[in-house]
Amino acid sequence: MRVAVLMESDFYEPEIYYYQHRFAEEGIELDLLTRLWGGDRLTFTGHEHRAPITVTTSLEHVRPGDYAAVIVPSGMVADRLRYSEKPLDLSPATEFMRQAFALPGVLKGVICHGMWLLAKIPETVRDRPVTCHNNLVGDVVNMGARYRDEDVVADGDLITGRSGQHCHQFARTLIERLTS
């Protein structure tokens, strides 16, 4: 079983490291995906400690259906991944998530500021219960989602988490869904 985590700079290091170790404990392969801009690798730095992490898999060369779950992590990852050269077009990462939401068999995990990546595709969370970072509550309400003041909210194929500091609860919920 494989799980994808979308990556960019300013990721929250403890969250990503936790996923790398915790999913491996369950025998789940974790792939880090990003927009490689035509290259074969990019090295990003974390937010707190500026720790580097190298990503070699382009989200433009895989399909969401290749994964049991796709995670949009916390930090500024989503803000960076939603960049599009043409402001009205979907970024490749947003398009990837749009495709993932069309697949009920793929579990979607969005934590903290990850909701930013879904801003141009609000239909993916409209009328669904979600949680997010306190700073994004207005955003998710404007997207039509039903905000819940909880650390983790599960709604079918969508798991949302409040912040990177809740990644252990978020990951536990994802793993329970993936292994049940």
- CATH number of the domain that residue 113 is part of: 3.40.50.880
The answer to whether 159 touches 108, Cβ cutoff 8 Å, is yes
- pLDDT value for 144: 98
What pLDDT digit, counting tens, does each position of 57-101 carry?
999 999 999 999 999 999 999 999 999 999 999 999 999 999 999
Tokens representing 149 are: 């003041």
- pLDDT value for 177: 97
Task: Give the residue numbers spanning the domain of 91.
Answer: 2-179
Q: What is the pLDDT along the chain (180 residues), one digit of tens a residue?
A: 999 999 999 999 999 999 999 999 999 999 999 999 999 999 999 998 999 999 999 999 999 999 999 999 999 999 999 999 999 999 999 999 999 999 999 999 999 999 999 999 999 999 999 999 999 999 999 999 999 999 999 999 999 999 999 999 999 999 999 998
* Number of separate domains in the chain: 1
Percentage with pLDDT > 90 across the chain: 99
Strands 129-130, 146-147: pairing kind = parallel
Residue type, 141: V
* DSSP structure string for 75-143: TTHHHHHT--SSTTSPPHHHHHHHHHHT-TTSEEEEEGGGGGGGTT-GGGTTT-EE---GGGHHHHHHT
